Amino acid sequence: MYPVSEPVRPPLPPFTLDAAIQKVRLAEDAWNSRDPERVALAYTVDSQWRNRAEFIGGRMAIQAFLTAKWARELEYRLVKELWAYQGNRIAVRFCYEWHNEAHCWFRSYGNENWEFDETGLMTRRIASINDLPISKDDRKLLWPVGRRPDDSLSLSQLGL
């Protein structure tokens, strides 16, 4: 039986290829919403993160972290791509573009390892991320801010 306070978040582990791809796209869509409360609901109340060199514990801290992130990473656009999956774990690679208040653009590349509980909530996220300064003309993620259109190119198709 699942806790009443925690909704089930399909797809659930153990993941199939299709379920893992769907889970990755759902995560991408949520992050592209730039809604910290929405994104944080995908994690357990005691979820553990390593984001770059920062260690974050718990849903409330995740929400606070994301609020601060999107206050400084403006016009954020993200693409995630499944790298591997097994059981209750998924590995992704990703790229996002954003600019700071001075209108300096960056492309951030990274990898994430995810672990889920039986309700489909993420219990652990380990992210390694590097930022590359780019010119506005070098941007590749050009859709309007929000959900990436279904017909846009994948990371592999973009050569990223």
pLDDT in tens, 20-49: 999 999 999 999 999 999 999 999 999 999
Q: What single string gives the DSSP state of each residue in 97-153?
A: EEE-TT--EEEEEEEEEEEE-TTS-EEEEEEEEEEEEE-GGG----SPSSSPPTTSP
Tell me how many domains the chain contains: 1
What global pTM score does this model have?
Answer: 0.95
Contacts of 50-56 with C-beta under 8 Å, sequence gap 24+, read 50/125, 50/126, 50/127, 51/125, 51/127, 51/129, 52/127, 52/128, 52/129
136 token code pair: 């506005």
> Where residue 5 falls among pLDDT bands split at 50, 70, 90?
low
In degrees to the nearest 10, what's the CA dihedral of 89, 93, 127, 142? -130
Burial class (CB in 10 A: 0-12, 13-18, 19+), 154: exposed
Residue 147 domain flag:
no
pLDDT in tens, 79-90: 999 999 999 999
* 4 pLDDT higher than 80: no
Strand, helix or coil for residue 73: coil
Q: Are 28 and 78 in contact (CB under 8 A)?
A: yes
Q: How far apart are CA 35 and CA 111, in angstroms?
A: 21
Residue 8 domain flag:
no
Residue 11 domain flag:
no
Residue 150 domain flag:
no
Q: How far apart are CA 51 and CA 57, in angstroms?
A: 11
* 2 pLDDT higher than 80: no
Residue 21 domain flag:
yes
Residue 87 domain flag:
yes
Token pair 């801010």 is found at 145
Could you list the residue range(s) of the whole structural domain that residue 40 is in? 17-141
Residue 149 domain flag:
no
Q: Which CATH number is 72's domain given?
A: 3.10.450.50
Residue 82 domain flag:
yes
